[in-house]
C-alpha cells in the first residue's frame, strides 16, 4: 500500500470522531445559534406586547435563514484606516474559540461531542476565553473610537468576571473532585443531588459572571448600543459581523452547558436515584408528543391553508421524535440508547432554561454603568467567591471528619450569605458617601 495513503488512513482511523464532530459543530452550531436568536426575539416580543418576526415563514420560523442570506450577500466593507489582516482575523478567532470549546461538552453519558478529556472544564474555560482576544483585536483593528472603547471595556470586564466565574467553578470542582465533565456529573449522581443545592452561592456567582462573560444585558457594556453604537462591532458588517454575533450566541450555549454540567446535574433527570420516580424517564417522549397534539389543536385555527399544513408537519415531526424516544422501551435490543437519548433531552432542556434566564434578565433590567460593573465585580463578587471557596472547603473538611454533609454545607452557606449581606451593606455605604462628597455646591446665580 502507498505509505502516504496508509498514513492518511491511520490518521483518519485515530481521529475520525474528532473530525466528524468538528464538521457537525461547524454545521449545526451556527444554525442552532440562529434559532436561539429567533427564540430570543419571539420571547422579547411576547414580553413587550407585540408579535416579533412574522413575515418569513410561518410565525417567522425561516427568519434566521433569511438573515444569514442577507448577511452573506451584503457588501463587505473594511474601513480604509483599519489594520486589514487583524480586522479579518478577529471575528474568526472569536467564532473559532466559541466553536472549539463546544468540543469537550458532553450531552449525555456516552454522548461527548468530541472526546471526554480529563481536564474538560479547564479546556472549555481556557478555549472560550480566547474568544475575547477576537473582541479586543477587532476593536483595535477597526481604528475607531467607539470600537476601541468597546474593546477596552470588554477587556476590563473579562478580567474581572472571569476571575469571579472561575472561583465559582472551583467551588463546584471541590465538591466533585475532578475536572472531567463526565466525572462531575457522575459525582452529582453519587451525591444524589445537584450541586446547585450544595453550593447555591457558587451557582449564583457563576450565573452573574457568565452573563458578564457573554456580554449580555445587564452587562452588555462592550456593545451598549445606546452609548457606543455597537462597541467593538461598530465597523463590522456583513458576514464578519455575523461571525461575531454567532460567536456570542455559541458562547451562551457554552456557558449554559458548563453551568448545567457543574450545577444542574448535567444529563441527569431530576431525582436520578429515586426509583419510584422512574416514570420521569417517559417524560421526554410524552412532552414532545404533547407539543405535537398542541400543534394539531392549533392547526385548526390557522387562517391560511399553508399554515395549517405547516402545523400538521410540525405535529408529525414531533410524533416521529416522540416515537424515537419511546421506541427503546418496547424494543429490547434498543434498551441501551435510553440513557443517551434521555440524557440529551434533559441536558438541552436545562441549557435552554439557563439561556431563558439570560434572555429574561435582558428584557427586564437596565444596563450597569462601567464603574458600577467594576465595583460589582471586584468589591462584591470576587470577595464573595473567595469566601465561598473557603466555605465549601471547610465543609468538605468537616464532612471528612464525620460531620453530616448537609449540616456542614448549610452552616458554611449561611456564613457565606451573612458575609454577602455585610459586603453589600458596606459597599452601599461606601458608594453613598462617595456620591454625596462629589455634590459640591456650585452656582452661576448671583
Partner 1 sequence: MQDDALQDNSTLLGADELILNMGPQHPSTHGVLRVKLKLDGERVRGTECVIGYLHRGVEKIAENRTYQQVAPYVDRMDYVAAISNGLGYCEAVEKLLNVEAPPRARVIRTILTELQRIASHLVWLGTHALDIGALTPLFYCMREREEILKIFEKYCGARLTTHAFRIGGLQYEAYDGFEKEVERFCLDFERRIQEYVDLLTGNSIWIGRTRNVGVLNAADCIALGASGPILRAAGVKWDLRKAQPYAAYDQYKFEIPVGTNGDTYDRYMVRIEEMRQSRLICLQAIEKIPEGAIMGKVGKVIKPPAGEVYHSIEAPKGILGYYIVSDASTQPYRVRIRPPSFINLQALDKMVRGHLVADVVAIIGTLDIVLGEVDR
Binding segment for partner 1 (CB under 8 A), chosen from 16-24, 86-94, 224-232, 308-316, is 224-232
**What letter does residue 369 receive in the DSSP assignment?**
P
Closest-CA residue to 246 (of 7, 18, 16, 28)? 28
Backbone conformation region of residue 385, classed left if phi is above 0, alpha if psi is from -120 to 50, else beta: alpha
Q: Does 372 bind partner 1 (CB under 8 A)?
A: yes
Task: For residue 370, state whether it binds partner 1 (rule: CB under 8 A).
Answer: yes
The residues near 255 (Cβ < 8 Å, ≥ 6 apart) are: 128, 210, 213, 214, 354
Whose Cβ is closer to partner 1: residue 80's or residue 336's? 80
Q: How far is the CB of 405 from partner 1 (least distance, A)?
A: 35
Shortest distance in whole angstroms from residue 382 CB to partner 1: 19
Task: Please identify, using beta-carbon distances, which residue of 18 and 428 lies nearer to partner 1.
Answer: 428
Out of 1, 366, 402, 433, the only residue in the binding site for partner 1 (CB under 8 A) is: 366
C-alpha cell belonging to residue 309: 399544513
In the complex, minimum distance from the CB of residue 370 to partner 1, in angstroms, rounded to a whole number: 6
Which residue among 362, 377, 382, 392 contacts partner 1 (CB under 8 A)?
362
Residue bearing cell 470576587: 382
Please give the Cα distance from 176 to 193 (Å, whole number): 12
Q: Which helix (DSSP H) or strand (DSSP E) does residue 24 occupy?
A: helix 3-47
CA angle 237, 243, 247 (to 5 degrees): 135
The answer to whether residues 75 and 237 touch, using CB atoms and an 8 Å cutoff, is yes
- DSSP state at residue 54: -
Minimum CB distance to partner 1 smaller for 49 or for 85: 49
Position 381 contacts partner 1 (CB under 8 A)? no
Tell me: does residue 218 bind partner 1 (CB under 8 A).
Answer: yes
Binding-site string for partner 1 from residue 106 to residue 145, where x marks contact by CB under 8 A and - marks none: ---------------------------------------x
Q: Closest distance between partner 1 and the C-beta of residue 81, in Å?
A: 15
225 interacts with partner 1 by CB under 8 A: yes
Burial (CB count <10 Å: 0-12, 13-18, 19+), residue 12: exposed
Q: Which of residues 39-98 bind partner 1 (CB under 8 A)?
A: 44, 47-50
When binding is defined by CB under 8 A, the residue of 226, 333, 401, 433 that contacts partner 1 is 226
Q: Pick from 300, 303, 332, 441: which binds partner 1 (CB under 8 A)?
A: 441
Q: What is the Cα–Cα distance from 273 to 237, expressed in whole angstroms? A: 51
419 binds partner 1, rule: CB under 8 A: no
378 binds partner 1 (CB under 8 A): no
Question: Cα 437 from chain centroid?
Answer: 41
Q: Is 149 in the site for partner 1 (CB under 8 A)?
A: yes
Helix (H, G, I), strand (E, B) or coil at 197: helix
Looking at 26-34, 215-223, 264-272, 276-284, which segment touches partner 1 (CB under 8 A)? 215-223
Q: For residue 154, what are the contacts with CB-CB under 8 A and spacing of at least 6?
A: 132, 135, 136, 139, 215, 221, 222, 231, 232
Among 221, 311, 351, 392, which residue interacts with partner 1 (rule: CB under 8 A)? Answer: 221
Stretch that binds partner 1, among 16-24, 222-230, 303-311, 378-386 (CB under 8 A): 222-230
Which listed residue (146, 241, 319, 347) binds partner 1 by CB under 8 A?
A: 146
Q: Is 359 in the site for partner 1 (CB under 8 A)?
A: no
* Distance, C-alpha 314 to centroid of its chain: 27
CB atoms within 10 A of CB 281: 18
* Nearest to 154, CA basis, from 244, 75, 79, 82: 244
Choice between 48 and 278, CB closer to partner 1: 48
Q: Which stretch binds partner 1 (CB under 8 A): 56-64, 251-259, 265-273, 359-367?
A: 359-367
Helix, strand, or coil here: 438? coil
The CA–CA distances, whole Å, from 72 to 241, 312, 317 equal: 10, 32, 30
Q: Determine the interface stretch with partner 1 among 217-225, 271-279, 381-389, 390-398 (rule: CB under 8 A).
A: 217-225
Binding piece for partner 1, criterion CB under 8 A, among 26-34, 90-98, 114-122, 356-364:
356-364
Give yes or no for a contact between 302 and 308, defined as CB atoms under 8 angstroms apart.
yes
Shortest Å distance, C-beta 74 to partner 1:
19
User: What is the spatial distance between Cα 61 and Cα 401, in angstroms, rounded to a whole number?
Assistant: 57
Q: Phi first, then psi: what are they for 202, rounded to 5°?
A: -65, -40
Q: What residues make contact with partner 1 under the rule CB under 8 A?
A: 44, 47-50, 145-146, 149, 217-218, 220-221, 224-229, 362-372, 435-436, 438-446
Amino acid at each position: 500500500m502507498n505509505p502516504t495513503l496508509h498514513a492518511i488512513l491511520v490518521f483518519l482511523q485515530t481521529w475520525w470522531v474528532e473530525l466528524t464532530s468538528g464538521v457537525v459543530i461547524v454545521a449545526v452550531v451556527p444554525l442552532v445559534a440562529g434559532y436561539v436568536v429567533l427564540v430570543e426575539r419571539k420571547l422579547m416580543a411576547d414580553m413587550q406586547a407585540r408579535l416579533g418576526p412574522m413575515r418569513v415563514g410561518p410565525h417567522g420560523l425561516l427568519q434566521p435563514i433569511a438573515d444569514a442570506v442577507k448577511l452573506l450577500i451584503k457588501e463587505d466593507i473594511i474601513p480604509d484606516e483599519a489594520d486589514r489582516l487583524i480586522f479579518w482575523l478577529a471575528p474568526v478567532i472569536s467564532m473559532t474559540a466559541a466553536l472549539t470549546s463546544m468540543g469537550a461538552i458532553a450531552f449525555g453519558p456516552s454522548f461527548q461531542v468530541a472526546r471526554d478529556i480529563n481536564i474538560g472544564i479547564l479546556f472549555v474555560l481556557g478555549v472560550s476565553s480566547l474568544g475575547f482576544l477576537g473582541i479586543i483585536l477587532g476593536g483595535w483593528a477597526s481604528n475607531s473610537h467607539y470600537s476601541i472603547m468597546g474593546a477596552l471595556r470588554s477587556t476590563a470586564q473579562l478580567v474581572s468576571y472571569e476571575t469571579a466565574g472561575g472561583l465559582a467553578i472551583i467551588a463546584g470542582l471541590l465538591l466533585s473532585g475532578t475536572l472531567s465533565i463526565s466525572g462531575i456529573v457522575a459525582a452529582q449522581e453519587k451525591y444524589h443531588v445537584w450541586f446547585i443545592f450544595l453550593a447555591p452561592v457558587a451557582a449564583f456567582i457563576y450565573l452573574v459572571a457568565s452573563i458578564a462573560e457573554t456580554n449580555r444585558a445587564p452587562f452588555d457594556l462592550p456593545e451598549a448600543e445606546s452609548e457606543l453604537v455597537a462597541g467593538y462591532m461598530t465597523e463590522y458588517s456583513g458576514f464578519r459581523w455575523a461571525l461575531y454575533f454567532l460567536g456570542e450566541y455559541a458562547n451562551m450555549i457554552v456557558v449554559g452547558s458548563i453551568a448545567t454540567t457543574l450545577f444542574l446535574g448535567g444529563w441527569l433527570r431530576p431525582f436520578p436515584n429515586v426509583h419510584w420516580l422512574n416514570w420521569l424517564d417517559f417524560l421526554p417522549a410524552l412532552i414532545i408528543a404533547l407539543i405535537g397534539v398542541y400543534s394539531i389543536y392549533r392547526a385548526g385555527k390557522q387562517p391560511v391553508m399553508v399554515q395549517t399544513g405547516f402545523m400538521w408537519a410540525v405535529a408529525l415531526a414531533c410524533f416521529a421524535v416522540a416515537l424515537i424516544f419511546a421506541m427503546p422501551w418496547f424494543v429490547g435490543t434498543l434498551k441501551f440508547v435510553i440513557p443517551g437519548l434521555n440524557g440529551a433531552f434533559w441536558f438541552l432542556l436545562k441549557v435552554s432554561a439557563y439561556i431563558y434566564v439570560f434572555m429574561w434578565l435582558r428584557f427586564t433590567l437596565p444596563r450597569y454603568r462601567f464603574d458600577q460593573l467594576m465595583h460589582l465585580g471586584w468589591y462584591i463578587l470576587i470577595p464573595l467567591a473567595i469566601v465561598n471557596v473557603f466555605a465549601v472547603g471547610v465543609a468538605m473538611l468537616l464532612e471528612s471528619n464525620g460531620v453530616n454533609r448537609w449540616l456542614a454545607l448549610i452552616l458554611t452557606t449561611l456564613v457565606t450569605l451573612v458575609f454577602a449581606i455585610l459586603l453589600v451593606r458596606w459597599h452601599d455605604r461606601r458608594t453613598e458617601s462617595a456620591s454625596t462628597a462629589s455634590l459640591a455646591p456650585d452656582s452661576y446665580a448671583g
